[in-house]
């Protein structure tokens, strides 16, 4: 008689994502995963494959969740400057509220696995392109609506905003000076006026 899974795959994948995000790929052992996920090794391997496959699935869940969340967030803000201000301020609030100081899973993965993992580089580049495209389309909408007076190249601004968004997650791991982070956001957003 075949075994019946007694766990929710999505919940387990989410737990794995959070463990990899907190500890990193190399520092997370299969035993750590078994203990944290509450499933046995056989179930882990049968359902998700090896540690690397589970990591990639976890990372893709994080990416997909963030991209969908970003689209929805910006889509709910018709005022472009207000939308970006709230986005960056939320990133600051979330980063400073994180007791584990995990930062960003994408940034953590970049610093841990690049340049040695060629496959992850492709995924990270796609992530960067996805974010920059969303930022660019939002900026373009603002320019077309007459909300933005900037003469800056919008693709370059989108790239800068991606850098700032990730930079907030990195800097907040070390410095918890909220005012400095907010001031930096205001300086960058001044490019839109």
CATH number, domain with residue 8: 1.10.10.60
pLDDT of residue 8: 87
pTM, to two decimals: 0.90
3-state SS class at 110: helix
Q: Would residue 72 count as lying in a domain?
A: no
pLDDT along the chain (193 residues), means of 10: 67 96 96 94 93 96 96 97 97 92 91 90 95 98 95 97 94 90 95 90
pLDDT of residue 173: 86
Long-range Cβ contacts of 116-122 (<8 Å, 24+ apart):
119/56, 120/59
Same domain, 48 and 88: no
pLDDT of residue 1: 44
Same domain, 95 and 157: yes
Say how many domains are in the chain. Answer: 2
Q: Would residue 67 count as lying in a domain?
A: no
CATH at residue 112: 1.10.357.10
Instruction: Look up the domain containing 30 and give its range.
Output: 1-58
Tell me how far apart the alpha carbons of residues 87 and 107 are, in angstroms, rounded to a whole number: 18
pLDDT of residue 5: 60
Both structure tokens of 79: 């005022």
Same domain, 92 and 181: yes
């Amino acid at each position: 008689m075949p075994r019946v899974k007694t766990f929710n795959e999505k919940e387990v994948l989410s737990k794995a994502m959070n463990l990899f995000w907190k500890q990193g790929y190399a520092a997370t052992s299969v035993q750590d995963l078994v203990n944290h996920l509450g499933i046995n090794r056989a179930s882990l391997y049968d359902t998700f494959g090896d540690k690397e496959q589970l990591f990639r699935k976890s990372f893709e869940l994080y990416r997909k969740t963030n991209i969908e969340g970003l689209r929805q967030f910006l889509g709910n803000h018709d005022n472009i400057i207000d939308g970006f201000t709230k986005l960056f301020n939320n990133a600051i609030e979330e980063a400073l509220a994180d007791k584990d100081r995990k930062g960003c899973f994408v940034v953590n993965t970049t610093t841990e696995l690049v340049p040695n993992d060629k496959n992850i580089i492709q995924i990270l580049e796609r992530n960067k392109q996805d974010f920059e495209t969303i930022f660019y389309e939002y900026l373009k909408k603002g320019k077309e609506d007459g909300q933005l007076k900037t003469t800056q190249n919008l693709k370059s601004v989108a790239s800068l905003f991606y850098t700032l968004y990730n930079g907030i997650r990195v800097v907040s791991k070390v410095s918890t000076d909220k005012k400095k982070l907010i001031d930096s956001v205001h300086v960058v957003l001044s490019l839109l006026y």
